[in-house]
Amino acid sequence: MSGVSGADAPGGVARGSWEIREGDCLESLRAMPDEYVQTCVTSPPYWGLRDYGHGDQLGMEETPDLFVANMVKVFAEVKRVLRDDGTLWLNIGDSYAGSWGNQGRKSERGTLRPINGKMLTPVHDGRYPDAGSNTGKIPEGANFKAKDLVGIPWLLAFALRADGWYLRSEIIWAKPNPMPESVTDRPTKAHEQVFLLTKSPRYFYDADAVREAHQHPDVTRTRGKCAPGSLQENLGKYWKTPNGNHPAGRNKRTVWTVTTQPFAGAHFATFPPKLIEPMVLAGSKPGDTVLDPFSGSGTTGMVALRHDRSYVGLELNPDYAELSRNRIRDDAPLLNTHLEAA
């Protein structure tokens, strides 16, 4: 279902349009033409942590290897539909062996929830997997033990690199308000990984769109003697500032401190808009198309549209698909405000 009509075309959809395609993400991706989108910003289901209420969902595989293999298949199709200079921004969380919700906990599925005055059908909150599901069970011969940190983000990152992706950056999402953990034998986990991967060695990345304020803007850099034509000399000439700092700010760092923001509409762990925003701004230009194959509550689409991009979201669960559509429609009155302020 589209929010604004626009004919499909190689390289994306009509400017300012959005669409939530309901169904299996792999099948939906296979139906897309090559080089259809500029960037993909997504947070797939984490392995063994949440049951989102659909028998065909990813994240409920019995082993990490099966989960990673399924993800590689999905992102192989993502790579195909990306433009040659496109980027993938992938947020993925980790798991501890033997600590999943299927250790004797029964899921309590969602109830009707009001969303901006509307009532949706029952929405699955992303509870722990059912007891006996086998998800998270340590398989015989596994190379990890009970209580081990499995390392899912890096297992997936290395598998994607082996499948042809360029692994360009690891970004740490630091959470000032992490989920509480009842542990006393290790630090409380307060971060997740975001990986920047690319289809080609040369790709679009708008560093100026995401520059940060200089920590010490008035401190003059000591350049010393620079060789004629050297990078240092050329940078100094280009910036033309007394202290040698770039006038728009320093290059964005790899630790992003962003507060988690639960959404009352029922999705257990929403993708915070402030985390998504620099990915959209650095990975695309106004008018480009942003893809999220795990659309969830539609936050990626909301952010993309606020910044004059088009959006294609894929969602397996029909309840979440409808939630996404309602959320994006309800945000529509804010779009002009955001675009005028940009």
Q: What is the pLDDT of residue 114?
A: 34
337's enclosing H/E stretch is: helix 318-341
What does the DSSP 8-state code read for residue 138?
A: -
Contacts of 112 (CB under 8 A, 6+ apart): 119, 120, 121, 122
SS3 state at 292: strand
The full set of domains in the chain, from first to last, is 18-212+251-341 (3.40.50.150), 214-250 (no CATH)
- At residue 140, what is the residue type? E
- Identify the CA nearest to 43 among candidates 34, 35, 52: 52
Q: What is the pLDDT of residue 47?
A: 78
Question: % helix / strand / coil in the chain, to the nearest 5?
Answer: 25, 20, 55
Q: What is the pLDDT of residue 185?
A: 92
Query: Which residues, in sequence order, are bridge partners of residue 19?
Result: 2, 312
Please list the pLDDT of the chain residue by residue as tens digits (342 residues): 344 433 343 445 677 789 999 999 999 999 999 999 999 999 998 876 655 555 566 766 778 888 899 999 999 999 999 999 999 999 998 888 775 543 333 333 333 333 333 333 333 444 444 444 444 566 666 777 888 888 999 999 999 999 999 999 999 999 998 888 888 999 999 999 999 999 999 999 999 999 998 876 655 554 445 555 655 555 555 444 555 577 888 999 999 999 987 666 554 556 789 999 999 999 999 999 999 999 988 999 999 999 999 999 999 888 889 988 998 998 865 554 443 443
Query: Which residues, in sequence order, are bridge partners of residue 315?
Result: 22
29's enclosing H/E stretch is: helix 25-30
The position carrying tokens 């298949």 is 73
Count CB-CB contacts under 10 A for residue 220: 11
According to DSSP, the β-strands at 255-257 and 166-174 are: parallel
The 3-class SS string of 143-170 reads CCCCCCECCHHHHHHHHHHHCCCEEEEE
Q: What is the pLDDT of residue 45?
A: 85
* φ/ψ (deg, to 5) at 41: -125, 115
